Chains A and B, each alone.
Chain A
Amino acid sequence: MAPLKGALGRALLRLFAVQGSYNYERMLGVGVGVAEEPLLRDLADGKYRPAVARGAHFFNSHPYLTGLAVGAAARAEHDGAPPDQIERLREALCGPLGSLGDRLVWAGWLPLLSGLTIAAIALGAGWFAVAGFLIVYNIGHVALRWWALNAGWTYGARVSVALHSPMLQKALALLGPAMAFAVGFALPLAARFLAVPFPRWGQLAAVVTAGLVFLALRWRSDRLNGLRMALGLSAVALVVGLIWQ
């Protein structure tokens, strides 16, 4: 079934802002409704508004993969699926899409490229590395958003077929190890890059402190985080520095 002319493109553009009204009550729901609306415009009069209202109900998932739910729900509306079944479909998609997206992007593609970029900067690549990061990252980003929306629209309520795509599975299997290696590789190089201007005792202080902070973060991950540790240590360093004079 062909979507309304231009509707998929419009939905894709709107999906880039799907988290624009992020809130704890409906999470991404309102943004999902806004993105789905162009795909619903050719529904019969009595069906359009209830479908738009359903589209804006609670939704939470990975933003890049949310198009899958948008496409699938819109397709199911066109196929005349009963309302409670569409609600059930949307709810069932939240968790799995969130989990897939987190593993694919937040714990895969993003830290992989970020680690490689840090390593490249540390090895002297300069802003070229950052430009490369933006370009390569976003090729994957936009492709994923487009694939998700299309797959959702194509498969409707049978979206799990799309998720079985061998390419997606292969990407998941490769990204975990690749990310782990890249960030591991980047860390010593980042340490060297940042500590080069320090004299010996400063380098030593940085390494010892890093070890202690790492242990502290592992020990009390419920209370401590990087920001708190960094702020606390900075305050201590400031006080020590001021007394020193």
Chain B
Amino acid sequence: MSLALYRIDDRLIHGQVVVGWGQPLHVSFIVLVDDEVSSSDWEQDLYRMGVPPQIEVIFASVDQAAQLFSTWQTDERVGILLVGDIDTAVALAARVPQVRRFNVGGVHHRTGRKERLRFVYLTDDEAAKLRDLAARGVDVTAQDVPTARAVPIGEFT
């Protein structure tokens, strides 16, 4: 079964992920790939609090993710892989060629970012990086919850 969703979401673990995607996909583990969180105990503690006890949370840096990816891929349970920003997504896709798709679930406003969709704000640089990723054959779409339409990359970058 392995990883059913590869998601870019700067809130990482929240209700849309746990309730919105977790329930219909029958998720049993969440892999959170983030260099900073993977070295911060208090943040890991917080993110674990947001998840029901039956779901396992695995924290990894990009390096660790590249090493451990095959074990998640062969895991018989269903999992979600989360990254918090475009750079991590690009780095991960470069290191792990098996990552063939990304769901842009939520990137919020920050100085320099422009609104692309109501839940996606990107700088021009970030938009270019996403297009680049798509040009290399990764399927990039934007979709906040499973009941919404998956917006193709051409419509939001």
Contact = CB atoms under 8 A, between A and B. Distances in A.
Interface of A: 24-27, 58, 60-62, 91-103, 106-107, 157-160, 163-164, 172-173, 176, 221-223, 225
Contacts of A102: 14-15, 18-19
Contact of A103 (B10, B18, B148): B18
B141 to A, nearest CB: 12
A92 B15 contact: no
Given A98-B50, A222-B147, A24 B118 contact: yes
B135 interface: no
A99 B42 contact: no
A100 B18 CA distance: 9
Contacts of B118: 24
B155 interface: no
B109 A58 contact: yes
Chain A interface, >50% SS class: helix
Contacts of A60: 11, 108
Contacts, number: 88
B45 A94 contact: no
A94 B11 contact: yes
Interface residues of B, number: 33
Contacts of B47: 92, 95-96
A96 to B, nearest CB: 4
Interface of B: 10-19, 24, 42-43, 45-47, 49-53, 108-110, 115, 118-119, 121, 146-150
A99 B27 CA distance: 15
16 contacts: A24-B115, A25-B115, A27-B108, A95-B11, A99-B15, A99-B17, A99-B51, A102-B14, A102-B15, A103-B18, A106-B15, A160-B42, A164-B49, A173-B53, A176-B52, A222-B150
B19 A163 contact: no
Nearest to B41: A160
Given A61-B14, A102-B18, A160-B49, 7 more contacts: A25-B121, A58-B110, A96-B46, A172-B52, A222-B146, A222-B149, A223-B149
A223 B146 CA distance: 10
Given A94-B14, A106-B15, A99 B50 contact: yes
Given A60-B11, A102-B19, A103-B19, A95 B50 contact: yes
Nearest to B32: A95
Contacts of B108: 27, 58, 60
